[in-house]
Amino acid sequence: MAITQAQVKSYRIQGIILALVIFAVDQAVKYMVVVPLSLESRRSIELVPFFNLTWAENYGVSLGMLTAQNEHQRWLLVALTALIAAIVLVWIYREKLRGDIMALAMILGGALGNILDRARLGYVIDYADLHFGDFRPFLIFNLADAMITIGVLILLARALFIGEDKRKELTEGA
């Protein structure tokens, strides 16, 4: 059954709402770890034996790459990540499949949260520290990072498992 134009419009609105909710929740959690919990001064709070809230200032992008070492580089990173977010927003408005739109919305919401941090503070606030003893499968991250990663993984899975013929069948007429 093909998707209608009205459905596509509804999916896009849902995607933008999801992105805004992710952005708001990300900022609310970062506020909680900074203000009420004073994580910056406490440095680490053990929640359970395998998960801590640990203060980290991320001056780079994913996996610490492209670390901004001065104000000029900081604003270049803000501009680069804002450009990527704008591309994702355009992609949302070009996409027709709900699953892809929701994955893109996760990426957009997370990107906006990290962009605001970098613009306001010069770094991204990271706090989520998953570990098993001394083994840490991830660097310290935040909700925005998690949403970006999950969104990318969903897009990859959908690209691998939904064939081009099925995509065309679903989007005919939309």
Provide the terminal-to-terminal Cα distance of the chain, rounded to the nearest Å. 11
Please give the C-alpha separations between residue 98 and each of 122, 132, 136, 150, 155, in angstroms, as whole numbers: 35, 36, 34, 16, 11
Side by side, the strands of the sheet bearing 44-48 are 44-48, 51-58, 124-130
Instruction: Determine the pLDDT at residue 46.
Output: 94
pLDDT (tens digit, 9 = 90+) per residue, 57-102?
Answer: 999 887 667 788 899 999 999 999 999 999 999 999 999 999 999 9
Nearest-10 crossing angle of helices 71-94, 98-121: 160
Instruction: Determine how many CB atoms are found less than 10 A away from the CB of residue 58.
Output: 22
Instruction: Determine the pLDDT at residue 173.
Output: 64
Instruction: Determine the pLDDT at residue 163.
Output: 77
Instruction: Determine the pLDDT at residue 137.
Output: 87
Instruction: Determine the pLDDT at residue 6.
Output: 94
Q: What percentage of the chain reaches a pLDDT higher than 70?
A: 96
The residues assigned a catalytic role are 126, 145
Measured at the alpha carbon of residue 115, what is the angle toward residues 81 and 122, in degrees to the nearest 5?
110
Distance CA 172, CA 162 (A): 15
* Residue-range domain boundaries for the chain: 5-42+54-60+67-166
Instruction: Determine the pLDDT at residue 171.
Output: 73
pLDDT (tens digit, 9 = 90+) per residue, 133-171?
Answer: 889 888 899 999 999 999 999 999 999 988 777 777 777
| Nearest CA-CA partner of 16 in 109, 97, 94 | 109
27-49: average pLDDT: 94
Q: What is the mean pLDDT of the chain?
A: 92
